[in-house]
């Protein structure tokens, strides 16, 4: 029985070490979004923006773009997703506001919740990661 317990513990510990090596973090510095290994090494600039949130699988980063609003008060911010491997950035379409921020991934990585200025008040928005299904 002790051998089985030791074997299970070794498998779990090895699995944790392997997965820890693959974990990434996303952060902002200045007006840019970066991704790095969990220990802070191998930092790579992804895009300009703020409020980064790495996807549950570590393959994408949701963030908001930052810009000066033209002909209206306040900032202009849109929700965007960057692919970590390629660096390709997609600003999500069909979100009816120029002032959104703070995206948070759903646990399955299929949707984003975020703050949105709508009807002159902050509200909670939800959208699929391809930009469809906004509500």
Domain boundaries, the chain: 25-128
Residue found under tokens 């928005």:
125
Q: How far apart are CA 112 and CA 105, in angstroms?
A: 5
| Residue of 123, 124, 129 lying closest to 113 (CA atoms) | 124
Q: How far apart are CA 60 and CA 103, in angstroms?
A: 12
pLDDT < 70 positions in the chain: 1-22, 68-74
pLDDT for residue 18: 40
What radius of gyration do the chain's Cα atoms show? Answer: 19
In CATH, which superfamily holds the domain spanning 25-128? TolB, C-terminal domain (2.120.10.30)
Q: What is the pTM of this model?
A: 0.78
pLDDT for residue 97: 92
């Amino acid at each position: 029985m002790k051998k089985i317990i030791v074997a299970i513990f070794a498998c779990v510990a090895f699995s944790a070490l392997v997965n820890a090596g693959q974990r990434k973090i996303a952060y902002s510095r200045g007006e840019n979004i970066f991704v790095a290994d969990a220990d802070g090494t191998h930092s790579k600039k992804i895009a300009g923006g703020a409020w980064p949130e790495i996807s549950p699988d570590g393959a994408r980063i949701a963030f908001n773009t930052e810009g000066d609003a033209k002909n209206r008060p306040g900032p202009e911010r849109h929700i965007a997703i960057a692919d970590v491997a390629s660096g390709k950035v997609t600003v999500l379409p069909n979100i009816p506001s120029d002032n959104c921020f703070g995206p948070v991934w759903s646990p399955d990585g299929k949707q984003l919740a975020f703050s949105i200025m709508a009807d002159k008040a902050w509200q909670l928005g939800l959208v699929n990661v391809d930009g469809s299904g906004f509500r």
